[in-house]
Amino acid sequence: MLLLEALVAATTLLSPIQTRSDTTLGAKQAAVCSTTVALSDSVAANLGAASDVHGGIVRWDLARGPIRIWVQRRPDLAADVTVTPAEWKRAVVVATDAWRDVVTGLAFALEPDSARADVVVTWERVLESAATSSELAFLTAGRTTLVPGGDGRALLAHVRLAVFTPGAVRYSVDDVRAVARHELGHALGLAHHRAPTSVMAPLVRTERLTTDDRSTLRALYSLPIGARCTTQAK
């Protein structure tokens, strides 16, 4: 059984959880990029979505070392006597492990100073959604802002994780871990993927990266920082 579906009874959430990006690629378009490897249609579409969202390839320069991540202490408003603050932080750290070494040299390192971090993770009481569906709005759980430099180099990412749904239901540690895994994909430069089984699907249904998730990230990081892809109808 899928992780989030298994949590429905315990959390009273309607599975799956939705996470949101501000821009997605049109269903009949894909970006064509010159890569060092052959791409499947699905990976090419995923890569095109990332290029379309950012107006080019935005990614981290892995040669500079691990991506430094700072996680805000879970706020008092999220108090849960059954879970320690360290466990909430651990949920985010475990989410980073899913992406570690998917690309050679990709790693995260905890940073104690938020001012020095590359990725800042903070908690919001509720995240409002622009979704037209009341069900999707109810399930919005994460949002990420990725800030690029003029050359396309990723400079900063801000991941916001909701504590409660707009319906005032508290997200569980398992929910947070699944959503954080998805949002960290955005922080690495990915957009939403079309396959519903993908970790990067708009509706998070899984806790494991798919082959396409890994292949898309590798393709993204095989391209020069700031490369621009041409978009064409398919």
Cis omega (within 30 of 0) on the bond before 196?
A: no
Residue 234 falls inside a structural domain: no
CATH number of the domain residue 122 falls in: 3.40.390.10
Q: What pLDDT band is residue 120 in, cutting at 50, 70 and 90? A: very high
Q: How many domains would you assign to the chain?
A: 1
Terminal-residue alpha carbon distance, the chain: 35
Residue 170 falls inside a structural domain: yes
Helix (H) or strand (E) holding 158: strand 154-162
Q: Report pLDDT digits (tens) over 199-216.
A: 999 888 888 999 999 999
Residue 124 falls inside a structural domain: yes
Residue 147 falls inside a structural domain: yes
pTM: 0.82
CB 50 within 8 A of CB 220: yes
Residue 26 falls inside a structural domain: yes
Q: Report pLDDT digits (tens) over 98-113.
A: 999 999 999 999 999 9
**What is the residue range of 15's domain?**
3-223
94 SS3 class = helix
Residue 228 falls inside a structural domain: no
Residue 183 falls inside a structural domain: yes
Residue 133 falls inside a structural domain: yes
Q: Which long-range contacts (CB under 8 A, 24 or more apart) does 145-152 make?
A: 146/54, 146/58, 146/186, 146/187, 146/189, 148/54, 148/58, 151/225, 151/226, 152/54, 152/56, 152/57, 152/58, 152/59, 152/225, 152/226, 152/227
